[in-house]
Structure 1
Amino acid sequence: MLAHLPLILLAQATTTPAPPQPAPAEQPDAGRLGTAQQSGGGSGDIVVTARRRSETVQTVPIAISVLGGQALADVGAYNVNRITQLQPSLQFYSTNPRNSAANIRGLGAPFGLTNDGIEQGVGIYVDQVYYSRIASATFDFTDTDRIEILRGPQGTLYGKNTTAGAINIYTRKANLTGFEGRVELTGGNYGFFQGKASVSGPLIDDKLAIRLSTSITTRQGTIYNTRINEFQNSQDNQSFRGQLLWKPTDTLDLTLYGDYNAQNPRCCVQYYVRTGATQRPLSRQYAALAAAFGYSVPSTNAFDRVTDLDTVPLAKQKLGGTSLVANLDLGAATLTSVTAYRFWDWVPSSDRDFIGLPVTTVSANPSQQSQFSQELRIASNGKHTFDYVAGAFYFYQKIDTQGLQVQGSAASRFLLNPTSANASNPAVLNGLTAVNTIGFTNTSAAVFGKLTWHASDAFQIAGGLRVNYDKKDGSYVSVVTTGAGSATLNSDQRGVLAPQSYAPQFDKWNVSGDITAAYTLTRDIHAYATYARSYKSGGINLSGLPLDGANNPILSAATVKPEQVNHYELGLKTQFFDRRATVNFAAFWTDISDYQATVTNGQLGVLRGYLANAGKVRTRGIEIDSAFRPTSRFSLYANGAFTDAKYVKFVDAPCPPELSGGTTAAAGQTPSAAGTAGGISPQNCDISGQRLPGVSKWAFSYGAEYDIPLRIAGTDGQIYLGYDGSYRSKFSSNPSPSAYTNIDGYALSNFRLGFKTKDSFNVFGWVRNAFDQDYYEVLAIQSGSTGLVVGQPADPRTYGLTVSKSF
């Protein structure tokens, strides 16, 4: 059965549409990580809706992977972060839910702290509803049918323009014909517990059905805080999801969705990893600063997993919403309407100095977001000489943020320029407080469509077009007062926390499009070629602006221009040996002008980055994905991605820490060598030709599963052994590549051993990161060019037992 394949298959090829339907019914084999193959041969095709119509995964001319809900449970991939181990081209980085980024092929969002004023390049959709912030998608998967991951620009098919790709999450549909239920319980080390349950059935036969599901995840933290005497980086998530499906006629169905999620973990801490030499005077680098306070961290080995941060970490959020999806079959076409409202409330607390000294005692940006969206689409039914999809989309988002930052008694020594007379006076910065009031509205509207011409049974050409309008309005007001409550600041205080008040605006029309030629060589060999011209909306800076020489905001930096994307792709999809083997290829080249990058200000006290346009970025690569089932009992897969992503031109980038912290070079001065204490630092650095952050040049996922028939207590089933592995090569963890923030390559291995019966009962033991690989999710640098490098170690070895039952 396909349901036994522990596989991700990245599908690329031409299209032979299946009969269109508004959304595919739950498929028995969408339960594994998908490919269109089945033991013993036969079609076994998985149906997807990547192009807003139902097509088989092996024939749609888009680079796409399909992750089935049951397989996600088997491998423990219960959120977006964990599916990166299964999908080589997907990158996900997070220091807390708000500061998260999902990238595909190295593109999507700037690496670093999140700025609400820009768009994400990877669209997140749940049951066809666009989630405007990646943070609002950091929930545990609940009652998931499948996940489709599309790579490359998708703006001519989707409501929101998505220049890097899309992640489509589909939950299981309500059952109109009978009662069904699912229960899954998992326990593991670190006090891990996860419980999931769902029930569905008709309220009125064939007319009205309901589906209810819930999930809870708790786990003790993996990092011990010696100061607060608690484990941190814990998990504490609860979610509830409901669905009503009404089918009043054979041609009309309406589905009302509602969901609510609450998370309240002690998360997320970053702490001491190592130090590196900067160009700041030695007396103001980390070792001397810590010694001046008689301070030392509990351990200089981050994988001892202990810290003494003096701020209680919080990552509390509530998110949810409701949506109505209606499908009307008009005969020749299907009309679809998606109306949705969503909210996200965020209550954080972080230790932004990353050590147990009172440098920054408070750093928090509570935020409340709401969004409304309306999409209307029409798609032709059946296969004709010309098939089409056309739609209109409206989106409105509002965000209110209340920022607070307070400096402590150690701030003067850590943050002020050593030449300042105030550098050794704690009172100058102690209690310095910035209260930031931030408002943002985002309005977007678009019309889009795609027309496919079937020139013959084997050859087709599909062209798409999108006309898009974006308008963003913001307000940023920062009121700064001294520890004594005075609003009169000296230059040192303004250099750390500067009063700012500005109201940036951005609005722009753009037109984008794509064209794809696809050819079916044989029933099981498909090829395609795509060119896309796309845009990522411009934006506004809502994290404060850089300062000029007089410590005043540089207002010209308030807006960021749109990215312009030119994308080229070739794909070949093959199956052979009676579809027991699948091997797919994709090659891509993407050029981006005016790339939106996260940069940092030259002032020593800046804690947050801002956005600017780099000159040009290029990513190119090759993806090879394969799956084999030699026998009905044994399956294996191997997927790989080579991604070469670099800055083609970025001549005025921020400098890495080893070239920062010294006296800024004047005209004609030659900067000092990297790491020269008390040296001369360049005003900016040319990082053209260097790698983009967060992107491994090589990434792989691979695995196998073997099962043997077994009868236990009169019940027939299979005992099975499964393995899933992944590898990522070294990548940079700083917007400007630095020798101090490179993360070494690492390999992970996960095992599972269990017994299952057909579509009913499953029990298995599992171990993840089986060889206890030490690796970092992200690295960062402490503000002020002190040379301190901090990081967030990934999970150690975990193990447990999962029991699930369907009825």
Structure 2
Amino acid sequence: MKIETNAALRLFVTGMMTGTALCAVPALAQDAATAAEGTGGDIVVTASKRTSSTVQDTPIAVQALGGDALKDKGAVDFADFYHAIPALSVQDEGPGDKRYVIRGVNSAGASTVGMYLDETVITGENAQDGGGQAPDIKLFDIDRVEVLKGPQGTTFGASSMAGTIRYITKKADPDGGVNGYVQSALRATKGASLGMQTDGAVNLPVIPGVLAVRASGFYADLPGWIDNRFQKGANAEKSKAGRLTARLQATPDLTVDLTAMYQDVHQDAKNFYNKLDYDGNVLPSNYQADEVRAPYSDKSEIYNATVNYKQPFGTFTGTVSRFVRDTSFVRDASLAAQAFLGLPHDTTGRSALKQDKHRRVDSGELRFASDFDGPFQILVGGFFQNENRFFNSSWPKADVNGNLPADADMLLDRTVDTRIKERALFGELSYEILPDLTFTAGGRLFDFKLEQQSVANVAFGGGTGAGAGPKLHTKDNGLIGRFNLAYKLSDQVNTYVQVAQGYRSGGTNDQTAAAIANVVIPDGYGSDSLWSYEWGVKTTLLDRKLFLNGAVYYIDWSDIQVSQQATDGTVSFGYTGNGGKAEVKGIEMTLDARPIPGLQINLSGNYNTAKLAQDNPVAGTGNKGDRIPYVPEFTGAGSVNYTTFVDALGVDASFGADVSYQGSMATKFNPAIDNYQPLDSYWLVGMHAGISKGPWQVNLNVTNLFNDQTTINYNEIVPGVYPLGYYMNRPRTVSLSGMVKF
């Protein structure tokens, strides 16, 4: 067998075995924080877990987007708003398959960005069993989205080493009376059929002033623009979600919030297209080469109970959550069967890689946030998280119609069971040294344990597998810290200096893939950590007509988790290991101007140099000076919106435009690495207009106005096994929506 074929076999089997190589690679103070409109410094956030404050008064790098403003612009999920946040980028392979990047901190292993829905942890898991991606929360009945930049490990835990994204939902309101909204929209995407979306919510006081429930729902049929041999618009997305919340105001000081949410996202095919079919022939534009149906489904359940008990000296908060996620991913493997097993791709080799995963995360936290008289304030709490995952990776044969029968012959099949336990104690002490000068010191003491076992049910090519492999273990414990000095120079200027540490736990490497070729790889890898040094300034000028904020930061990242290679001289296998150091140097700014009544102008930008500070231990997997993958050097965004009253029509009218820029980046450290692909820079332009009168509102939105089709990601290519797949932003989409509030 040729070396190139062996390399392809290595990539393919590793994908089967690890599920990664082929997958593309508090309710604080009773939620007193209700988001203001827009994206400005007036929005109230609960980023500190200690008290609610406006963006301008919070001495860390945080941005917030109001839920109503997102709705007015037709935002459905993460892809519709992240360009507006400087230093936020993404490794994007479609709905439910994104890996978030903040301030250039991105590598193999678990997610580097923490994700929360209110108090519930929904962070993406370790990637060694085919994951790492968090769910795409649909933006219905959302109060605000908070993006906290820089390490948040002391308060939000392990995978918040780069930052944290929090979706804050609207809560039931016993004092709010019966109220709600209904919105529906038609969506037309270039090269696709007509789609639609609808969502709504209702608040019902059961016992006014004491008990209320809020029910909300979402449904979308977003048209697809990629065809394959089975259907036109195969990548259409159908999503549905529902959320039920209840609030019991048991006493003026005691509040109980309950939340239950369900979300279901389905695509008949992913968002990539191919230029060549399996025989090397040129395909029509926006067409997939797949010979097997390859659907994707993503179902999530979220349950939470939060209790807040407020006293004159502080607030006690207790919260428990359960997050359940089931995903199913299929990728055509017909050409692999031909390359490795001699089975023709269009007949007996017609088959697919199928990966099903069940994940359950139970978490809870008990904390106290003080409100003492005097210069001292404290935040102290305890946290637990228990996680169970079951992952099944199989290679079934397909029938002549491209379906995977329940009793299909298997060319490979394995399962992976993972158990994780994490415990932590955290706290912060703040002291007002002088009026308007406050020093905060915080820490988190953590203990992490992981156990994993694989079972080979069917061997490569068919036949009985080797059975259960050894139980793999990894554990980690330690203490991380945060130090913040905040100084309010005047009513117009706040500044802060922060030194913060972030960490990410290690994991295990399944060795069964390499064992096929008698190649030895390590059974695990250690944690990595970083120190972030940041100076920020927040200014409120011209009688609150101008908010101008900026920050400079330096990140020193040690023992970075990276993809490495082991070889016997002929065949090599990938695994996750620890490299050396990486450094990130950056500067970011945001401007929110309101020069005249009704006019709002937003500008933002980020520049950073995220690079390896030394060669990776395994030659050729990354060298000093290589940029971190999927990190653009520059990102920027701008928007303008004008609202006015039209006397002749008796309506409020608004119109505006937005533009964003993402700089070039690459999928690997350097061009010498297999599957390195450059990603070009691109601009996106949007426009919107709307009218409203009383409870009625109509909005017209256009996204990707100039129909930019720059490639934003690639499928992992295996020569002779998979043709190169291209991902791009959604083509120009026009939506017309109508909403009524009551």
Task: State the 1:205 CA deviation.
Answer: 1.2
Q: Paired residue for 1:526, among 490, 494, 503?
A: 494
Conserved in 2, the CA contact under 8 Å of 1:242 and 1:259?
yes
Alignment match, 1:718? 652
Alignment match, 1:228? 230
Q: Paired residue for 2:31, among 14, 21, 24?
A: 24
Task: State the 1:701 CA deviation.
Answer: 0.9
Task: State the 1:236 CA deviation.
Answer: 0.6
The one-letter code sitting in structure 1 at the alignment partner of 2:283 is P
Alignment match, 2:718? 783
Residues 236/130 of structure 1: CA separation in 2 closer, same or farther (3 Å cut)? same
The one-letter code sitting in structure 1 at the alignment partner of 2:701 is W
Task: State the 1:448 CA deviation.
Answer: 0.4
Alignment match, 1:188? 187
Conserved in 2, the CA contact under 8 Å of 1:605 and 1:783?
no
**Does residue 419 of structure 2 align to residue 447 of structure 1?**
no
Q: Which has the larger radius of gyration?
A: 1
1:620-650 deviation digits (Å, cap 9, x = unpaired): 2000111111100211111000021112223
Residues 723/604 of structure 1: CA separation in 2 closer, same or farther (3 Å cut)? farther
Conserved in 2, the CA contact under 8 Å of 1:373 and 1:393?
yes
Residues 349/609 of structure 1: CA separation in 2 closer, same or farther (3 Å cut)? farther
Alignment match, 1:363? 353
Alignment match, 1:248? 250
The one-letter code sitting in structure 2 at the alignment partner of 1:617 is A
Aligned ranges for residues 605-684 of structure 1 at < 5 Å?
610-652=575-617, 684=620
Q: In the aligned structure 1, how far is the partner of 2:568 from the partner of 2:51?
A: 52
The one-letter code sitting in structure 2 at the alignment partner of 1:130 is V
- After alignment, is 142-151 or 314-323 more displaced? 314-323
**Does residue 47 of structure 2 align to residue 69 of structure 1?**
no
Alignment match, 1:677? none
Q: In the aligned structure 2, how far is the partner of 1:789 from the partner of 1:606?
A: 22
Residues 745/514 of structure 1: CA separation in 2 closer, same or farther (3 Å cut)? same
Q: What secondary structure does 1:35 align onto?
A: coil
Conserved in 2, the CA contact under 8 Å of 1:149 and 1:165?
yes
Unaligned stretches of 5+ residues in structure 1: 1-19, 37-44, 111-117, 275-289, 410-429, 489-497, 654-682
Q: In the aligned structure 2, how far is the partner of 1:352 from the partner of 1:648?
A: 38
Q: In the aligned structure 2, how far is the partner of 1:601 from the partner of 1:408?
A: 33
Task: State the 1:367 CA deviation.
Answer: 0.9
Task: State the 1:533 CA deviation.
Answer: 2.5
1:299-326 deviation digits (Å, cap 9, x = unpaired): 4xxxx21223112121112211311000
Alignment match, 2:404? none
Task: State the 1:161 CA deviation.
Answer: 5.3
Conserved in 1, the CA contact under 8 Å of 2:639 and 2:657?
yes
Residues 443/97 of structure 1: CA separation in 2 closer, same or farther (3 Å cut)? farther
Conserved in 2, the CA contact under 8 Å of 1:81 and 1:93?
no
Unaligned stretches of 5+ residues in structure 2: 1-26, 125-131, 337-343, 400-407
Q: What secondary structure does 1:454 align onto?
A: strand
Conserved in 2, the CA contact under 8 Å of 1:124 and 1:137?
no
Q: In the aligned structure 2, how far is the partner of 1:688 from the partner of 1:323?
A: 45
Q: What secondary structure does 1:107 align onto?
A: coil
Task: State the 1:767 CA deviation.
Answer: 0.8
**Does residue 474 of structure 2 align to residue 506 of structure 1?**
yes
Aligned ranges for residues 142-541 of structure 1 at < 5 Å?
142-158=140-156, 162-177=160-175, 178-189=177-188, 190-225=193-228, 227-272=229-274, 294-299=279-284, 304-351=285-332, 357=345, 361-381=351-371, 384-405=374-395, 433-481=411-459, 483=461, 485-487=462-464, 501-541=469-509
Conserved in 1, the CA contact under 8 Å of 2:440 and 2:485?
yes
> How many residues get paired?
685
For normalisation by structure 2, the TM-score amounts to: 0.86
Conserved in 1, the CA contact under 8 Å of 2:291 and 2:350?
no
Q: What secondary structure does 1:229 align onto?
A: coil
Alignment match, 1:105? 103
**Does residue 547 of structure 2 align to residue 582 of structure 1?**
yes
1:527-567 deviation digits (Å, cap 9, x = unpaired): 1111123321111235x56637x7125252x2111002111
Q: What secondary structure does 2:81 align onto?
A: helix
Conserved in 2, the CA contact under 8 Å of 1:606 and 1:784?
no
Conserved in 1, the CA contact under 8 Å of 2:114 and 2:164?
yes
Aligned ranges for residues 534-613 of structure 1 at < 5 Å?
534-542=502-510, 547=514, 551-552=517-518, 554-556=520-522, 558-599=523-564, 610-613=575-578
The one-letter code sitting in structure 1 at the alignment partner of 2:232 is E
1:88-127 deviation digits (Å, cap 9, x = unpaired): 21122232556431111122553xxxxxxx5322111111
Alignment match, 1:425? none
**RMSD of the TM alignment (CA)?**
2.9
Alignment match, 1:126? 117
Alignment match, 1:700? 636
Conserved in 1, the CA contact under 8 Å of 2:153 and 2:501?
no
Q: In the aligned structure 2, how far is the partner of 1:145 from the partner of 1:407?
A: 46
Q: Paired residue for 2:735, among 769, 784, 800?
A: 800
Conserved in 1, the CA contact under 8 Å of 2:97 and 2:134?
no
For normalisation by structure 1, the TM-score amounts to: 0.80
Aligned ranges for residues 78-89 of structure 1 at < 5 Å?
78-89=76-87
Task: State the 1:787 CA deviation.
Answer: 9.7
- After alignment, is 432-441 or 596-605 more displaced? 596-605
The one-letter code sitting in structure 2 at the alignment partner of 1:748 is L
Q: In the aligned structure 2, how far is the partner of 1:48 from the partner of 1:73?
A: 21
Q: What secondary structure does 2:434 align onto?
A: coil
Q: In the aligned structure 2, how far is the partner of 1:128 from the partner of 1:757?
A: 36
Q: Paired residue for 1:729, among 649, 663, 666?
A: 663
Conserved in 2, the CA contact under 8 Å of 1:703 and 1:722?
yes
Alignment match, 1:688? 624
- After alignment, is 119-128 or 56-65 more displaced? 119-128
Q: In the aligned structure 2, how far is the partner of 1:334 from the partner of 1:354?
A: 60
Conserved in 2, the CA contact under 8 Å of 1:592 and 1:616?
yes
Task: State the 1:258 CA deviation.
Answer: 0.4
Q: What secondary structure does 1:310 align onto?
A: coil
Q: In the aligned structure 1, how far is the partner of 2:589 from the partner of 2:390?
A: 44
1:714-753 deviation digits (Å, cap 9, x = unpaired): xx43212111110011110235446961111000000011
Q: What secondary structure does 1:365 align onto?
A: strand
Q: In the aligned structure 2, how far is the partner of 1:608 from the partner of 1:219?
A: 39
The one-letter code sitting in structure 1 at the alignment partner of 2:417 is G
Q: In the aligned structure 2, how far is the partner of 1:34 from the partner of 1:99?
A: 29
- After alignment, is 200-209 or 642-651 more displaced? 642-651
Conserved in 1, the CA contact under 8 Å of 2:519 and 2:572?
no
1:117-170 deviation digits (Å, cap 9, x = unpaired): x53221111111111426452231221000110001112222555211111111
The one-letter code sitting in structure 1 at the alignment partner of 2:358 is Q
Conserved in 2, the CA contact under 8 Å of 1:447 and 1:468?
yes
Question: Percent of aligned positions with the same letter in both sequences?
Answer: 24
Q: In the aligned structure 2, how far is the partner of 1:408 from the partner of 1:242?
A: 40
Residues 781/398 of structure 1: CA separation in 2 closer, same or farther (3 Å cut)? closer
Q: In the aligned structure 2, how far is the partner of 1:531 from the partner of 1:104?
A: 17
1:189-227 deviation digits (Å, cap 9, x = unpaired): 1322110110002100111001000000112211011x2
